[in-house]
Structure 1
Amino acid sequence: MKFLNVILISFIVSIIITMTLSIINYTPVAQREPNTYYFSIMESFIFMSMFMIPFCLVAGIFSFFAYLIIERKKQLSTFPQKVLSVLIGLGITSAAFYMYVSLSNTETNDIYLIPEGYEGEVYAFYNVRGAPKVEKEGKYSVHPINEEGYFVTSTHDLDYGTVTDRYYYVDDHGNRTPIDHTCVNLFGTGGLSDHGEDNVTSISYTGFELTKDHCGEEFMLRGTGRDHHSTLERVSGMIFKEYYNIEFWY
């Protein structure tokens, strides 16, 4: 069993598992609940592959070295070697399915409170030193978005899993108006870091694009198609300057 073969097989297995689970996990539009975001097959594939591919590669590497140790000590014949190879493959597959089940059973459960009339990019930044902790409403984490379109918290990390977020416009009196999920195009998650004089400052973020007049399946899946990097650069620069006194270059 050659090392490169193990890497290749682990990668192929991870792709097959991820695509299969993405298809199984897909919810047709007619069966979807309101105000809940559902991944497309490709979005599910991309999301799960970020976890599944590294996991399968690491599992394959450990299995390879375990195989070498057993082969050396037991002097296995050809047939038992093949059986062991199959068992290793089944072990990787079983572990991958367990990982998938663990991920699919988690939910994001976030509430976004957005200034009435706001339209454009919305961001939530986590692990920001000196920012307030996330407040809770039942099982939901509350994100009051400011006039600039972002929210910051010192809570270490955001939640991952099925997107069950709720979105509201909030007027000057605190009254909430639900925003339909077809008015929201998710960006996913990311991270930013800056090497300061004393240490490395890292924050994570998630975001989405919000529209008032172009809501629909097309916008929910693709958004307006414009480049959002300039907004992220401007907002993250403000955060690093305010909370860390760092001139951040995106």
Structure 2
Amino acid sequence: MLEKLKPALYSTLIIFSFFFIPSLFEEGAVWFSFIVLFYAAAGNFLFGIPVSLISDLLTRKLDKGRFLAAAGIHIFFGAVTIIFIDGLAFFAVVCAALFFLLDEWEKGRRRGNKQIRGLALKGGVVLAFVAVVIIGMMGHEELTEVETNTIYLIPEGFEGPFVVYYNVPDQPPLKQEGEFSVVPINIEKLPPLEGTGMEKYGLYQTSTEASYGTVTDRFYYVNDSGNRTEVDQYCIHPGFGGAYSNDGSEEIQYSTFQVTSSQCGEDFYLGGKDRYDTQIREIDKYWSGW
């Protein structure tokens, strides 16, 4: 087992360096490379080494086909992690292949130079195999992709923040329009902000649980006759979301947004408006009870 520590360490350091060196030239990005270091080390030492030992056990009696069989075992176990870590499984497959190649290089080095001839060619075959597996995983991800599919109906002319609370007991479930859930926003007044000119906000509460995944939401202004006008994406600022639980009850999730019809643009889309941020903080305090 001790001989597996080197490839695990080398693989971890190579992956870390791949992210760390570019991060030196990008402000605030260095911390991410250390997160990568942690996960790469955990994967290589806690998962990669046992997989490599299993591979050695299963392929020890093979001769010509041993290299490809062992490569397949490593990559297979890397790909299987898609069940547990979803999109990060791409990273696991690359780590598994790198660990395997470094382990083979170490084995060859211990046996003499003759044993490592052709490793570069075999490595190319492994990389091609990795590419095929990743393409297959991308296809799987696309087929199993979950989308948010929510339509928000906002009263025509309203500008400001609106909040949607999910999984709220005794509230109605969301109605469906085909594959989309419909959230009809109501305009309310927040008691703590009464008289400040900031009391109006949008609200909807539902017993339906929040949906997560690829964002495919649509936003519409709706008039008294029910006619809809689609809101441009640059007139919407997607805010933060969260969850809370009162007295050990079931968790309530929430999502916040800001909408404008007079200040649409990239600045609003990315940063919203300070006034609306203040309102959202007060809304959060009011409904979460803190």
| TM-score normalised by length of structure 1 | 0.59
Q: How does 1:119-130 map to 2 (within 5 A)?
A: 119-130=159-170
Distance 1:206 1:56 in 2: 33
Q: Is the 8 A contact 2:51 2:74 kept in 1?
A: no
Counterpart residue identity of residue 203, structure 1:
I
Classify the secondary structure of the residue corresponding to 1:214.
coil
Which of 233, 256, 267 is the aligned partner of 1:207?
256
Residue segments in structure 2 that go unaligned for 5+ positions in a row: 20-35, 80-92, 95-132, 188-200
- Structure 1, unmatched stretches of 5+, are 16-51, 241-246
TM-superposed CA distance for 1:82, in Å, is: 10
Answer with 1 or 2: which has the greater Rg.
Answer: 2
Q: 1:66 aligns with which of 51, 54, 59?
A: 51
TM-superposition CA deviations, 1:92-119 (whole Å, max 9, x none): 254763564356x443221111122211
1:131-167 deviation digits (Å, cap 9, x = unpaired)? 2111111221100112131222111231421x33221
Q: Residue in 1 aligned with 2:211?
A: 158
Q: Which amino acid aligns with 2:176?
A: K
Q: Is the 8 A contact 2:241 2:256 kept in 1?
A: no
Letter in 2 for 1:219: F
Number of residue-to-residue matches in the alignment: 197
Provide the C-alpha distance between the structure 1 equivalents of 2:37 and 2:149, rounded to a whole number of angstroms: 26
Contact 2:55 2:70 in 1 (8 A): no
Deviation at 1:193?
A: 2.0
Residue 223 of structure 1 aligns with an amino acid whose one-letter code is G
Quote the residue 1:107 is aligned against: 147
2:179 matched to which residue of 1?
Answer: 139
- Supply the distance in 1 between the matched residues of 2:202 and 2:233 (Cα, whole angstroms): 18
Distance 1:230 1:214, change over 3 A: closer
1:234 maps to 2:282 = yes
Any idea what SS the aligned residue of 2:234 has? helix
Residue 202 of structure 2 corresponds to 149
Pair 53,140 (structure 1): closer, same or farther in 2 beyond 3 Å: farther
The residue correspondences of 1:219-230 to structure 2 (distance < 5 A) are: 219-220=268-269, 222-224=270-272, 226=274, 230=278
Compared with structure 1, are the counterparts of its residues 212 and 228 closer, same or farther at alpha carbon in structure 2 (3 Å cutoff)?
Answer: closer
Q: Deviations over 1:19-41 (max 9, x none)?
A: xxxxxxxxxxxxxxxxxxxxxxx
Asked whether the equivalents of residues 191 and 205 of structure 1 are also in contact (C-alpha less than 8 Å), the reply is yes
Q: Percent identity?
A: 30
Contact 2:256–2:280 (8 Å) recurs in 1? no
Give secondary structure in 2 for the equivalent of 1:235: helix
Q: Deviations over 1:76-100 (max 9, x none)?
A: 99xx689846853563254763564
**Which residue in 2 is equivalent to 1:167?**
219
2:229 to 164, 173, 177: 177
More helix by share: 2
Answer yes or no: is 1:88 the counterpart of 2:74: yes
**Structure possessing the higher relative contact order (Cα contacts under 8 Å, 6 or more residues apart):** 1
- Displacement of 1:183 in angstroms is 0.9
Shift of 1:214: 1.6
Match of 1:243 in 2: none
Quick one: structure 1 residues 232 and 6, their matched pair in 2 at CA, closer, same or farther if it must change by over 3 Å?
farther
CA distance in 2, matches of 1:122, 1:116: 13
Cα distance, 1:62 vs. partner? Answer: 3.7
Equivalent residue letter for 1:112: Y
Alpha-carbon spacing, 1:152–1:54, altered in 2? closer, same or farther (3 Å): farther
Query: Which amino acid in 1 is paired with 2:50?
Result: F
The question of whether the paired residues in 2 share the 8 Å contact of 1:133 and 1:154 is answered with yes
SS in 2 for 1:88: helix
1:213 CA drift (Å)? 1.1
